[in-house]
Amino acid sequence: MAIRPIVTLGDARLRLPGQPIVRFDRELGRLLDDMVETMDAAPGVGLAAQQIGLDLQLFVMRVDDELYEVANPEILHRSGEEGAWEGCLSVPGYRAWRLRAEHAVVSGQDRHGRRVTISGHGELARAIQHEFDHLHGELYIDGLPADQEILTEEELEARFAEETQAD
């Protein structure tokens, strides 16, 4: 296993749509292992192939200590709406308030090519949608309204500290 460099905003590889995974072999297994190690070391909640410079339909996520590996995903369902401060390993140091579906269901394949379906609410739903967007060359900041503020993590922490003191 190896930690791979994470591609950041401005690198054209982040905007590449993913090609389908067609071979479910040891090479794919090694790539997934590298992606999980890279995500955990960052640390992050998810990592898409584009974030390590590969144009593949492949992502990994770890939410509530559950690891998910998904190839060739399709969003089957989205419902509800909720907002949360969202960030991205490819846009390091920044957060923005982003609306997303509160519930999402994705179907794809695992590292062996077997069909997997993941249904989630809250953070898992957000991670599904965030990583799925990466596979289409989209970043979370692309879906923000024009007037939406993007804060540094330090600015966001200061805002939370002010709100806590006001309570």
**Domain of 114, in residue numbers:** 12-166
Q: Is 163 a catalytic residue?
A: no
CB atoms within 10 A of CB 30: 12
pLDDT at 103 over 90: yes
Q: What is the pLDDT of residue 155?
A: 95
Segment 51-70 mean pLDDT: 98
Q: How many domains does the chain have?
A: 1
CB 20 within 8 A of CB 70: no
Look over the chain and give the mean of its residue pLDDT values, rounded to a whole number: 96
Contacts of 29-33 with CB under 8 Å at 24 or more apart are 29/111, 30/1, 31/58, 32/58, 32/60, 32/69, 32/111, 33/1
Q: What is the pLDDT of residue 166?
A: 77
CB 23 within 8 A of CB 55: no
Q: What is the pLDDT of residue 88?
A: 98
Q: What is the CATH number of the domain that holds 61?
A: 3.90.45.10
Q: Is residue 144 part of a domain?
A: yes
pLDDT in tens, 122-145: 999 999 999 999 999 999 999 999
Q: Which helix (H) or strand (E) holds 165?
A: helix 153-166
Judge if pTM exceeds 0.85: yes
List the one residue out of 104, 97, 99, 95 whose CA is nearest residue 129: 104
Q: Is residue 4 part of a domain?
A: no
- Find the catalytic residue in 69, 81, 86, 131: 131
Confidence label for 78 from pLDDT (cuts 50, 70 and 90): very high
Q: Is residue 6 part of a domain?
A: no
Q: Is residue 105 part of a domain?
A: yes
Segment 8-36 mean pLDDT: 98
